[in-house]
Amino acid sequence: MDADRTIRILHLEDSDLDAELVEAVLDDVGRPCRIERVMDRPDFSAAAQPGRFDLILADYVLPTFDGLSALGIARVQCPDTPFVFVSGTLGEDTAVEALKNGAVDYVTKQRLDRLPRAVLRALAEAQAKAGKRAAEAEVRALNETLERRIAERTRELAESNAELRMQIVERERVEEALRLAQRLEAVGQLTSGVAHDFNNLLTVIAGNLEFLEREVSSERGQRRLAMMKGAAERGASLTAQLLAFSRRQRLVPMPVSLNHTVASMRDLLQSSIGGAVRIETTLQPDLWPALVDATQIELVILNLAINARDAMAVGGCLTIETANVTVTGPQTRPEQPVPGEYVMVAVSDTGTGMRPEVVKRAFEPFFTTKEVGKGSGLGLAQAYGFVKQSGGGIRIDTVVGEGTSIKVYLPRAEGAVEEGPQTPRTVDCGPGHASGGKPVVLVVDDDSAVREVTTTRLAEAGHEVREAASGLAALASLEADPCVDLLVLDFAMPGMNGAEVATEIRKRWPGLPVLYVTGYADTAALMKGGAVGADGIVLKPFRDGELESKAAEAIAKRPPSGVRLVSGG
């Protein structure tokens, strides 16, 4: 700073007398001073700007303001301007605190003779700091110049290294995708062969069971044969899932509106995942029709929704989204879609997410992270096989602790698709319906021991009995053969409970009687499922003749056995 240059001082002081005393003392500095005085926070904040003043003098105590607050403002707005306290009430402890907060000095009003020296010292220190900053800036500029020269000399090598790394990463990605594709293909071939041979065995078993049914006359023998037949049917359902993974199932692709599919499934999805999970849908208005098997895509969406529910132990949000997607990037994993136009349906949750090692094996059959008995490990494998057989792809986007989004890409169909509700169609159940004219009862219960008791009693009462171990299995059984006279549903089942199953069944097969068996009566849920009064409920344990009599009453009220209404939606 020039020795004869005017010193610009900002003075924070509310006392006119003290301000005059300070100005008089500053005459001893030996240099001209230009002082601007302020008395409150707004004026001080407006004046304390970078480069406007060489020094700030401030009283410590003011009527509506204080020196420490002024110091804080100065540290923020003009940190390079030295700050000196001039106060008559500044004790030693307060002075030390002020110095800690950034003040360069303090002078009591009782010793104003020290003020000129304090001002000159503060200005000298500020000038020294400014010189140091200038030197540091010059060093930084030199360093930047040196770094730029080094960067220019090494850029070519860095670019070559980066290109080499990209080639290595791409090669590793391709090799990993190839290994995964080969593993899934090998598992698919093995699964297909096992399912094929298993189906042959089941054909022999089921066929001979039919022959034995004609020859065995005892009720005990007929009951045992019915149990064996039910086990064979469950085995056939399992092989169907395996064939779906290996892309050997029979599909009937047609133009389908996924918006209509999702909208029509909303009640089923809500009942399947429970009230603790909120369902949101984001459906693209101008969605292309998808070329897909309508029944199978419903099962895929339902399976994905149930998986999402299981990933949200304390509830959350399940989002189903549809969109038109044009894939342009390369396929990085075998399950992902190749470039092209697709109709995408995504099922997203706010659950636990998947770890990378789980994602790598997510589509392998029988791989599951759920507890024993809580999952078969075939849900994603079945979805993978169906989507790939349909000519699409599937992708998992997941973050551990935040959630998972499974996106299913289906090929775009040319032309339009009708989205309006379809009228129910009829199925002729007369020819071959129920050997011997026996009423057909479908028993749905996840407990095999209880199911055996139920089926045995109904078989002994003269009914032909079919079995299903879950709500989904019951839906699949009715899809295959809707000629059933009565549905006997356990109420408390994992996944879809009895009321939820009945709600969906009444949409597809209106008029099918339903009889609940339960160990407890949730009246609201049962009424939602369509049970009316005590006639539609049988309590466990069964009382003598109650199950048989209520089954007979329900069957007696059914529509004529030759015709069944089947929902076309």
Check whether 187 has a pLDDT greater than 60: no
Instruction: Give the pLDDT score at 188.
Output: 54
What band does 482 get if pLDDT is binned at 50, 70 and 90?
A: confident
Sheet holding 33-38, edge to edge: 33-38, 7-12, 55-58, 83-87, 105-108
User: What value does the mean pLDDT take over residues 171-197?
Assistant: 58
More confident residue, 84 or 509: 84
Write down the pTM of the prediction: 0.40
Check whether 122 has a pLDDT greater than 70: yes
Instruction: Give the pLDDT score at 287.
Output: 92
Strand pairing report for 340-348 and 403-411:
antiparallel
Instruction: Give the pLDDT score at 428.
Output: 58
Check whether 207 has a pLDDT greater than 70: no
Check whether 520 has a pLDDT greater than 50: yes
Check whether 434 has a pLDDT greater than 70: no
Residue 367 CA to residue 307 CA, distance in Å, equals 13
Share of the chain above pLDDT 70, in %: 78
Instruction: Give the pLDDT score at 452.
Output: 85
DSSP class of 339: S
End-to-end CA distance of the chain: 89
Residue 302 three-state SS = helix
Helices (H) and strands (E) in the chain, counts: 15, 19
Residue 52 CA to residue 399 CA, distance in Å, equals 53
Least confident piece of the model among 159-168, 193-202, 299-308: 193-202
| Exposed / middle / buried, residue 53 (Cβ in 10 Å: 0-12, 13-18, 19+) | buried
Check whether 563 has a pLDDT greater than 80: no
Residues 6+ apart with CB under 8 A from 399: 353
More confident residue, 53 or 238: 53
Check whether 248 has a pLDDT greater than 60: no
What band does 372 get if pLDDT is binned at 50, 70 and 90?
A: very low
Q: Supply the mean pLDDT for the chain.
A: 79
Is the omega angle on the peptide bond into residue 541 within 30 degrees of 0, that is, cis?
yes
User: What value does the mean pLDDT take over residues 274-289?
Assistant: 87
Instruction: Give the pLDDT score at 390.
Output: 83
Residues 6+ apart with CB under 8 A from 353: 311, 398, 399, 400, 401, 402, 403, 404
- Beta bridge mates, 408: 345, 394
Instruction: Give the pLDDT score at 465.
Output: 92
Q: Rounded to 5 degrees, what are φ and ψ at 115?
A: -65, -45
What band does 56 get if pLDDT is binned at 50, 70 and 90?
A: very high
Check whether 314 has a pLDDT greater than 70: yes
Helices (H), 407-514: 448-460, 471-480, 498-508
More confident residue, 111 or 170: 111
Q: Could you report the per-residue pLDDT of 216-246, keeping only the tens digit for each?
A: 878 888 878 887 877 777 666 566 555 544 4
Check whether 157 has a pLDDT greater than 50: yes
Residue 561 three-state SS = coil
Check whether 552 has a pLDDT greater than 80: yes
User: What value does the mean pLDDT take over residues 257-286?
Assistant: 84
What band does 162 get if pLDDT is binned at 50, 70 and 90?
A: confident
Q: Which domains does the chain have, with CATH numbers?
A: 1-194 (3.40.50.2300), 255-411 (3.30.565.10), 425-566 (3.40.50.2300)
Helices (H), 461-545: 471-480, 498-508, 523-529
Cα 40–44–47 angle (5° rounding)?
150
Residue 403 CA to residue 312 CA, distance in Å, equals 9
What band does 523 get if pLDDT is binned at 50, 70 and 90?
A: very low
Q: Could you report the per-residue pLDDT of 251-264, keeping only the tens digit for each?
A: 668 898 999 989 88
Residue 147 CA to residue 32 CA, distance in Å, equals 46
Residue 81 CA to residue 63 CA, distance in Å, equals 24
Instruction: Give the pLDDT score at 426.
Output: 56
What band does 466 get if pLDDT is binned at 50, 70 and 90?
A: very high
Instruction: Say which amino acid occupies 209.
Output: L
Check whether 344 has a pLDDT greater than 90: yes
What band does 200 get if pLDDT is binned at 50, 70 and 90?
A: low
DSSP class of 66: B
The Cβ of residue 94 has, within 10 Å, a number of other Cβ atoms equal to 17
Residue 284 three-state SS = coil
Q: Rounded to 5 degrees, what are φ and ψ at 248?
A: -120, 5
| Exposed / middle / buried, residue 156 (Cβ in 10 Å: 0-12, 13-18, 19+) | exposed
Q: In terms of Cα–Cα distance, which of 180, 172, 179 is closest to 362?
A: 180
Q: In terms of Cα–Cα distance, which of 530, 446, 514 is closest to 478?
A: 514
Instruction: Give the pLDDT score at 369.
Output: 61
User: What value does the mean pLDDT take over residues 519-534?
Assistant: 54
Q: Contact at 8 Å (CB) between 64 and 40?
A: yes
Share of the chain above pLDDT 90, in %: 19
Instruction: Give the pLDDT score at 174.
Output: 59
More confident residue, 272 or 520: 272
More confident residue, 229 or 70: 70
